[in-house]
Amino acid sequence: MESLPNLVNYSEPLSVLPDGMQNYSVTCTPVNGSSFGPSAQIIVDLNNVGYLDPASLMIRYNVTYTTTSATATATTEGIFGAVSGCPVYSPFLRLDTLMNSNVIESVNNYNSVCSLLSNVNMSVAAKLGQQYPLGYASDNYEFNESTDGFIGGLVGTGAAQVLTKTLYLSAPLPCLLSNAEKLIPLNGTNIRLQFTTDSMINFCPLISTTDVTGAARYTTNAGTNTGLAGLPAAVVTANAASRFTGMTINNFEIVYNQVQFPPHIDQEIRMQSPKIRIKTTSFATGTQTIASGIGGTVNLIYNLRYASIKGLFLMNGGTTDGGTSKNKLFDSFDITRGTGSYNFNINGLNYPQNAMSTSTNKGYLLQELRRAMNNIYQNNVDMSINANEYSLNDGSQSTVYIPAKFFVAVNTQRLSVPYKALFTGISSQNSPINAVINCGTATMSQNITALLAINYDAILEIDLATKQINYIY
């Protein structure tokens, strides 16, 4: 049957936006203070007017990090501080989304999940293009193209000094709101976002000489950086007290576009149905610990039960401060050391059917990670994981600039191509999720925290008459 090509179908009707429709850029500030430190809560209420454009939701703030007072010799020794992961997200341990005072989403280890997303959703070029607001900009001019973590430095003068660094950060806010497929009504829903900041020891590692010399040496140069001007080019080693120990978050804001329609259009929207359903996606996490010295087959059980699981992501980070895992839960090592395999079991079925072997083809696991994010044949599935980062095994030393990025993932969607359906993932059938790791000949050289993040479908059901909200997942 012949049909007119769209390129010459000039009779195709063109939609026109309603007169009186407006779009405002809205800024919401915390209701419980203006400055926040470690292990604190930041509570922000969104407006209850109009509709939230999910694609516009972001955070912005500035954070000041400080070290303790320390004495470092002039020119050859420096005082340093570092932030692991994606610095804009690193301070936030948990994100809670509340609607009408009910918690409908709670993402633990939110900073680790967002660091994962920054590595599997963004290419190196994309990170460099947003280097300043994401917090990757470094004092080290040899690493001005860094796309992992942040290291600030101050060359010693022989007297006690305190390193102070302020980062001006802004980034999208991954959550059920920003992943929604339609505008979210704000009138009467009373949406609150609650951020819990992490303890600094979890995301501000102790910097040793190996972090700022050798392959990642910290070199000063005249006129390059504030505080380093006038100094000759020299390799600087780290003072023993090099660590950020203080943090103050100021000017925290949530920014989004608020769409408003004229009264007759708004009334027409509300007359469609007493209840509206909005499809969205989010992440849930669980953790298990693998003790050092354990080998063989490890079966980790996660009590995560969802009706539509789209993908599973396993991150194996260290727990010991100052150990080989410099970045703790921002690292992910191959704990099989290239001699074992990984797979997942949900409701009696293995995903994938054949375990992913690190000894037969370790490169395949990286392609499976791409597929877990989207379709492997789509050009927008870019990553920022290089061979050095992917090759770090348990027992290898990670650094802030070279974190371990051996993320294990599997795609569990029933159909990967775009398809209009409520739930496209698999159901856990109210059973827990098992991660099965065959370590081969390897045994753990350190305590490992195995963080499992699942990407799941959900439905936000809003009763426009009673303002009641139901979150279905």
The DSSP code sequence of 302-348 is: E----S-EEEEEEEEEE-STTSS-TTGGG-B-BTTTTSSEEEEEETT
pLDDT confidence of residue 13: 81
Which tokens in the block code for residue 22? 């407006």
For residue 151, give the 3-state DSSP assignment. Answer: strand
First to last CA, the chain: 42
Strands 77-83 vs 234-238: parallel, antiparallel or unpaired: parallel
Q: Is the peptide bond before 352 cis (omega within 30 degrees of 0)?
A: yes
Which tokens in the block code for residue 2? 């012949």
Report the C-alpha gap between 254 and 236 in whole angstroms.
Answer: 39
Residue ranges of the chain whose pLDDT lies below 70? 1, 140-144, 213-234, 375-381, 417-419
Which tokens in the block code for residue 178? 């920003």
Instruction: List pLDDT tens digits, range 238-279.
Output: 888 899 999 999 999 999 999 999 988 888 888 877 788 999
Of 193, 209, 169, residue with least CA distance to 80: 209
Which residue carries 């050095």 as its tokens? 388
Q: Give the CATH fold of the 21-272 domain.
A: Adenovirus Type 2 Hexon; domain 4 (2.70.9)
pLDDT confidence of residue 222: 40
pLDDT confidence of residue 373: 84
The domain 277-473 having CATH identifier 3.40.50.150: the answer here is no
Domain boundaries, the chain: 21-272, 277-473
pLDDT confidence of residue 226: 44
Length of the chain: 473
pLDDT confidence of residue 279: 93
Report the C-alpha gap between 3 and 299 in whole angstroms.
Answer: 57
One-letter identity of residue 398: S
DSSP code at position 363: H
Instruction: List, as one string, the DSSP characters of 153-197.
Output: EEEB-SSEE--EEEEEEEEE--STTTT-SSPEE-TTT-EEEEEEE
Of 461, 415, 5, 22, residue with least CA distance to 273: 461
Chain centroid to CA 174: how far?
8
Of 157, 187, 154, 142, residue with least CA distance to 52: 187
Kind and range of the H or E element at 367? helix 362-373
**122, 380 contact by CB (below 8 A):** no
Angle (CA) 263-265-269 rounded to 5° is: 115
pLDDT confidence of residue 289: 95
For residue 103, give the 3-state DSSP assignment. Answer: strand
pLDDT confidence of residue 312: 96
Strands 448-463 vs 309-318: parallel, antiparallel or unpaired: antiparallel
Report the C-alpha gap between 210 and 217 in whole angstroms.
Answer: 8
* Long-range residue pairs from 414-421, CB within 8 A, at least 24 positions apart, any chain: 416/371, 416/374, 416/375, 417/375
Report the C-alpha gap between 332 and 393 in whole angstroms.
Answer: 9
Report the C-alpha gap between 379 and 371 in whole angstroms.
Answer: 12
Kind and range of the H or E element at 450? strand 448-463
Report the C-alpha gap between 224 and 119 in whole angstroms.
Answer: 29
For residue 426, give the 3-state DSSP assignment. Answer: strand
